[in-house]
Amino acid sequence: MTDMKEIAAIDEMVAKARVAQNSYEAKGSQALFDSACQAVAWVLMEPTRNKMLAEMAVAETGLGRVEDKIRKNHNKTLGLMRDLKDVTSFGHLGDDAVTGLSSYLRPKGVIAAIVPSTNPLATPVNNIINALKAGNAIILAPSPKGVKPLTTMLTDIHQALGRFGLPDNLVQMVPAPPSRAKTERLMKLADLVVVTGSQNNVRAGYESGTPAIGVGAGNVVTIIDETADIAAAAQKIAASKTFDNATSCSSENSVIAVDAVYDEVVAALAGAGGLLLNTSQVERLEKLHWHDGKMTTTLLAQDIDKVLGEMGMLEDAPPATQFLVAPQSEIGPEHPMTGEKMARFLALHRASDFDDALAKAVAIQDFQGAGHSLGLHSTNDARAHRLAMEAKTCRVIVNQAHCFATGGFFNNGLPFSLTMGCGSWGGNSIDDNLNWRHFVNRVDVVRVVPERRPELDEIFGDYWDRFGK
């Protein structure tokens, strides 16, 4: 039975957030909102604190690598601040004399942000900054394993925001221990729900009755064709697959190599630290990582030594081994290796040609991960366009390390984010990277202008010429 005291605590928290948000907006200005974002960003990016928080996150969650979390915390936050610099996110946008419209931006109100254990620092900070940029209050609901690092970070965030006279209630966290009842109550009372994490939480967000932004499952497939720089592709895949022990939903999960370069791809992956498994080893890997069709935590986001040890291969594997490569010939729910893994191994498929590779990529993401993203290593840009038009994907990442590129990076045009919308294919309300625009309401002042009524033949003339009236 739900503890009514827990519900009452959430009700009180939301009420306090509304008071804080109303005050923040009332005295708000773009300068104040930007300063608040800078304060929050530097809390995580300050090198000593970043290292301490990263160490705490890995110790508490048991997921990922400290040095990679430090890089992620720094780069994702810096990139977001670059994207937000000089952006008008509040107040009067401008006037249009032709349409008679004057446009304004206002906050959504109180944001409920559900954040995963895989990114217990970078994701909530990204959400906090986007919320504050637009004048919102925000309440975070962490995974049980993410409570301690987030609690520690919030103490410093409150201190930093206090320099501007901003109350602690502007940025809050669901009181520990987290629970489904608390989270569901928060989602029901908030003005906007943002969910990053499990599909169960995403569905709960959509079912809460509150406007919600949730993201689909990741299951990145990358194609390597005969025109690719094979060595460069292998190095990028290795860097992406091993970063933070594959905690990212954007890490490559399957590689499809066309037949003409398949052997070369295998050799290049080996040169980049990939260990090719035989059939029996693949079977053992599947049994370790999935029980009754569900992913276990045995190998989830673990160091390669742990993975090799569980496989009984620690003594025999080459010293340079960084990840495992599991050849696959089948696709679908009975072959879980073709799904999302979030571990230091990937599936390898062979395709007769690019057409076959495209068909296999579509089949894999029809099974899992539709809408998220596809990778392509090729010098034939027309093939990127084919993926965009023929696959059910919202991003085609060309000649890049996927986990760095999908959420935006300094060398591509995507907004920095840790939450990637997957469109209707992934059952999502957005198809772009979550960003500040999703945290604002637009208001238009509408005036009378000279009437612009077209004649019928302006609209239907070409149709009538072809088919008559």
**Catalytic residue annotation:** 249
How many Å apart are CA 460 and CA 442, to the nearest integer?
A: 33
Burial 32-51 (b: 16+ CB within 10 A, else e): bbbbbbbbbbbbbbeeebbe
SS3 of 355-406: the string is HHHHHHHHHHHHHCCCECCEEEECCCHHHHHHHHHHCCECCEEECCCHHHHC
Burial class (CB in 10 A: 0-12, 13-18, 19+), 380: middle
Q: Give Cβ neighbours of residue 362 (< 8 Å, ≥ 6 apart).
A: 390, 391, 392
How many Å apart are CA 57 and CA 44, to the nearest integer?
A: 12
How many Å apart are CA 257 and CA 428, to the nearest integer?
A: 30
Which stretches of 218-333 are assigned E, i.e. beta strand? 220-224, 252-258, 274-276, 290-291, 294-295, 323-328
The HSE-up count of residue 227 (CA atoms within 13 Å, CB side) is 12
The HSE-up count of residue 404 (CA atoms within 13 Å, CB side) is 20
Phi, psi of 41 (to 5 degrees): -60, -45
